[in-house]
Chain A
C-alpha cells in the first residue's frame, strides 16, 4: 500500500513538474515569434489590473489548496489500514461544534476579503469615466467579421483595429461601444482587456489603454454560428505618428485606376455591391465588410488567411475553401472575371 501511495505521489509530482515547465516556457517566451494572447502577459491598463488581482486570488486559493491537500495527503498516509491491523473499529467521533464553527468562520472571512477586493476592482474598471483625450470606436459584430467605426474621424475599419499607444504623459485610452448586427458575439483581446459581449438590441462598453506598441491578437469568444472559430481579431497599437498616417489613408475614398476598370465593372454587375461598400463608388452595401482599403489589411476574412492576391482570388472563387459555411456565396465567376475583379480589388490600398 505504501508503495502504491508513493507511486501515486511520484507520478503526480512528475506530472506537475512537467506542467510547470510548460507553463513557464509559454509565459516566459510568449512574446517570441508566436503572438500568444496570454492573459498573463498584459499590455494595457485594465489587463494589468486584472492580472494583479488574479495573482492575489491565486495566492489565497493556492494556500487553501496546499493546506487542505496537505491534510488529505497526511490523512491518507497516517490513517490507512495497516497490514497487521487487529480489525477492531477505531474510536467513533460523531462531530464537534467548535470545529464546525472554526471551519465555517474562516471561509467566511476569506470570502469577505476576496469580495471586497473584487468589488473594488469591478467598480474601478467598469465605471471608469473616459478622459477627454479618449478615442471612441464603435464595434459592430457580424457573422463572422468585425466592423470598427471611428465616428469622430469619419472612418470605418474591418477586422483589424488600429489604436494609438497610451503613455503616462499622454493618456489616450480607447473606449469601445459594442453593438451587434445579428447574434451575440464577444470581443476578446486577452493582452489588452477582459472580454465583453456584443448583443443585438443592446449597447455595451469596454475600454483599453495599451501601453506598448505592437500587434495583439484575439478572437470572438461567444459561439455565434458555424464559423465562430475563425472570427479572429487583431489590434494594432501604433505610435501616434503611425496612427495618424493610418487614419489619413483610411479617410481617402477608393483609388480609381483605369487599368482595372474591367474588374470594377465585374464588381458592380455581379451583385458584389449588394453586400459591400467601396467608398467613392456606387457600391454601398452594408451586409458584408467595407472593401475601400482592403489591401491595407494584413489578413483576409477576419484573420482566416494572409492577404495575398492568390488567397483573395480563391476566396472570391470559393469562400468555403477557407471558411466553410461562411455567409458569402461563391458567385460562380469564370476565370477571366476572377482575374479582373482580383486585379481591381488589389488596387484598393
Chain B
C-alpha cells in the first residue's frame, strides 16, 4: 500500500522483509527508539492487551477461588494480592494505556497533522508507563518470592489508610503500589499534555475546533480531566510514603492524623479517574456508530458540551464512594445531588447515539455489534449507578457485590466493549488488513453471553448481603450457586478473549487487504494508505467540514452547507 506517487524512503512497505539477525535487531531497535506516534500508539495498545490478559488471568483465579464456599484454591494472602493487582492493573495498565494507544495513533491522523505536538515527550511518557508497570509486577517476585506472591500489593486498589501504614502493612506491598503508580503517573501527565497541545496547536487548515472529530474532542476532555485528577493520587501516595519511610503522620491516627482524609484524597482522584477511563470509550463509540449507521452524529454541539460537562461535574461527586464513612446528612445529600446531576449529560450522550442510529441503515459488522451492546450496557450501568447514588440504599449496597457488578458493567460492558469495537474498526488502518468477520462474530457472541451471565447475576449476591474483597464465604448464606454461575460466565469471557487474540494474529497474516477506506468512513485518517506512511499525509489536507471525506464523496450535498 505504499504511496505510489511519492516514493518516500522509510514508508512501511518499501523494504522487503528479510529475516537476517541484523534486520531483526534493527527492527526491534526501531520500536525502542521510535518517536513516531503510530508506533507508540501500537506499543501502548500491545501493552494494554498484554495486561488485559494478565489481569484477566488474575480474575479467573479469583473466580475459581469463589466458585464454591470454602474453596482452598489459593490462600487468603494470595487472594488479597490477586484482587488488588487485578484492580490496579486494569485501571492503570490497561485503562490508562488503551486511552493513549488510541489517542496517539489516531489524533494526528484525524486532524491532518504529521505527528503529535511533542514526539519525544510521547516516547518518554510511554516508557515511564511501561517501567512503572514492570515495577508493579516485580512485586510478585520481590521479597517473599513467587509462591507466597512476594510483596505484591494486597490492600485493595484503593489502599485505604491506616491499613497501609507501616504498623499494619510491615512488608513492602504498599510501597510497590505507591512507587509504581507515581512513575506511571508521570507518563500519564506527559501523554495528556501531548494530546491537548496536539489538538489545539497542530490542526490542519480549515479544521476549526468545532470541526474536530468527536473522538478528538472527547480525548482532549479526558486528558484535561486526567491532568487535574492524577496528581491528587500522586500527592496521596507521596504522603503515604512519607508516613511509611520518614515517620510522617498524615494518616497516623495515633498521632492525630486522619484515616478519612486518605479516602477523600483517593476518591478525589478515583472518581474523575473513572471518567478519564470511560470518556475515550465514548470517543470510540461516537466514531463507530455514525459510520455504521450511515449518518452524521446527531447533535454534535450537544455531544461536545455534554462530554465537557461530564468532566466538570465529575470533579464534584467523589464522596459518593464514602457515603458510609460517617459524613453529615448535609454532606451526604450534597453528593447525592451532584452524582445524580452527572447522570444528565451522560444520558444526553446515550440519546444522541440512539438518534444517530434512528433513520439510518445500520450495518452490523463486528465493530457495530460491540458498539450496540455498549449502548444498552452503558445505559444499565448508569441506572445501577443512579441506584447507588441514593445514599440510604448505598448504605446497604456499598462494598457489596452489587457495586462490583455495577462498575464492571461500566468497565467491561462499556469500556472493554468499546475497545473491541475500536480495534475491529481501526485494525485495517493500522495493519492494512481487515480482521476476520467470522472470528469477530464468534468473539462477540461468546463475550456478550459470558459478560451477561457473569455481571447480570453478580448483582444478586450483593442484594443478598455478600460483601466484596472476601476470599471465601459461608455456605449457609445462599451465595454458592450464584457465585458458581458468575464464575462460569468468567470462563466463557476468557475463551472469547482468547478467540480475539487469535483473530488479531491470524488477520495480520491472512486478513483481507483493507485499502484506504474499508468502512466507507468520513474522517481524515481514512484518506491515507493503510497502514499510513511515516509522514501521514503527502500534502497537508484542508478540512472543509466535520466530515471532510463526506464532502469529497458527496460534492452535491457537502456537510459544510449545514454547519
Contact = CB atoms under 8 A, between A and B. Distances in A.
Do A's and B's CB atoms come within 8 Å in the complex?
Answer: yes
Interface of A: 1, 4, 11-12, 15-16, 19, 22-23, 26, 30, 33-40, 47, 49-50, 53-54, 57-58, 61, 64-65, 68-69, 71-72, 75-76, 79-81, 85, 89-96, 99-100, 103-104, 107-108, 111, 114-115, 118-119, 121-123, 125-127, 143, 182-184, 186, 188, 190-191, 193-197, 199-202, 204-205, 217-230, 232, 303, 324-325
Contacts of B354: 68, 71-72, 75
Nearest to B256: A201
Given A37-B465, A95-B301, A26 B359 contact: no
B124 to A, nearest CB: 35
A16 B457 CA distance: 9
Nearest to A218: B465
B364 A22 contact: no
A190 B466 CA distance: 9
Interface string B114-158: 000000000000000000000000000000000000000011100
A47 B332 CA distance: 18
A39 B76 contact: no
A53 B386 CA distance: 13
A261 to B, nearest CB: 37
Contact of A79 (B154, B325, B360, B394): B360
B30 interface: no
A89 B155 CA distance: 54
B160 A222 contact: yes
A193 B392 CA distance: 10
A114 B390 contact: yes
B77 A92 contact: no
A95 B302 contact: yes
A19 B337 CA distance: 32
7 contacts: A39-B397, A40-B463, A69-B379, A103-B348, A107-B348, A196-B326, A217-B474
9 tightest Cβ-Cβ pairs between the two chains A and B: A194-B395, A37-B465, A229-B470, A201-B253, A36-B478, A95-B299, A204-B326, A200-B253, A190-B465
B392 A121 contact: yes
B168 A183 contact: yes
Contact of B391 (A107, A118, A188): A118
B469 interface: yes
Contacts of B493: none
Contacts, number: 297
B295 interface: yes
A92 B163 CA distance: 57
A4 B437 CA distance: 15
Given A119-B333, A223-B156, A202 B260 contact: yes
B478 A34 contact: yes
B477 A229 contact: no
B348 A89 contact: no
A81 B363 contact: yes
A47 B75 CA distance: 35
B474 A221 contact: no
Interface in B520-563: 554, 557, 559, 562-563
Contacts of B393: 50, 53-54, 57, 194
Given A103-B348, A227-B76, A54 B160 contact: no
Contacts of B298: 93-96
Residue from B299, B332, B372 having most chain A Cβ neighbours under 10 A: B299
B177 interface: no
Given A54-B387, A72-B354, A221 B467 contact: yes
B34 interface: no
A195 B399 contact: yes
Nearest to B402: A39
Contact of B478 (A26, A57, A230): A26
Contacts of A195: 324, 395-396, 398-399
B362 A224 contact: no
Given A1-B364, A57-B390, A223 B469 contact: yes
Contacts of B562: 92, 94
Interface in B315-349: 324-326, 328-329, 332-333, 336-337, 340-341, 343-344, 347-348
B406 to A, nearest CB: 12
Given A93-B295, A114-B340, 19 more contacts: A19-B457, A36-B465, A36-B478, A36-B479, A39-B463, A40-B463, A50-B395, A68-B354, A94-B563, A103-B347, A111-B344, A118-B390, A122-B391, A199-B260, A200-B259, A202-B260, A221-B400, A223-B469, A228-B470
A194 B396 contact: yes
B407 interface: no
A131 to B, nearest CB: 19
Given A125-B392, A325-B76, A217 B477 contact: yes
Interface in B379-421: 379-380, 383-384, 386-387, 389-400
A190 B401 CA distance: 13
B387 A57 contact: yes
B351 interface: yes
Nearest to B305: A100
A12 B452 CA distance: 9
A177 to B, nearest CB: 11
Interface string B452-468: 11001100100111011
A134 B355 CA distance: 56
A69 B376 contact: yes
B336 A61 contact: no
A115 B337 contact: yes
B344 A34 contact: no
B358 A196 contact: no
Contacts of B397: 39
Contacts of B301: 95
B172 interface: no
Contacts of B325: 197, 199, 204
Contacts of B449: 11, 15
B300 A122 contact: no
A184 B156 CA distance: 13
Contacts of B399: 186, 188, 195, 221-222
Contacts of B154: 226
Contacts of B464: 26, 30, 36-40, 190
B454 to A, nearest CB: 11
Contacts of B299: 94-96, 99-100
B519 to A, nearest CB: 13
B266 interface: no
Given A95-B302, A196-B326, A30 B478 contact: yes
Contact of A324 (B77, B390, B479): B77
B387 A58 contact: yes
B256 to A, nearest CB: 7
Contacts of A121: 392
A182 B300 CA distance: 53
A1 B441 CA distance: 12
A91 B358 CA distance: 10
B20 interface: no
B331 to A, nearest CB: 10
Nearest to A89: B294
Contacts of B375: 72
Contacts of B293: 79
Contacts of B358: 75, 79
A221 B401 CA distance: 11
A318 to B, nearest CB: 15
B392 A194 contact: yes
A38 B465 contact: yes
Contacts of B259: 183-184, 199-202
B244 to A, nearest CB: 15
A64 B163 contact: no
B436 interface: no
Contacts of B337: 111, 115, 119
Contacts of A104: 344, 348
Contact of A229 (B389, B452, B471, B563): B471
Contact of A126 (B163, B332, B481, B554): B332
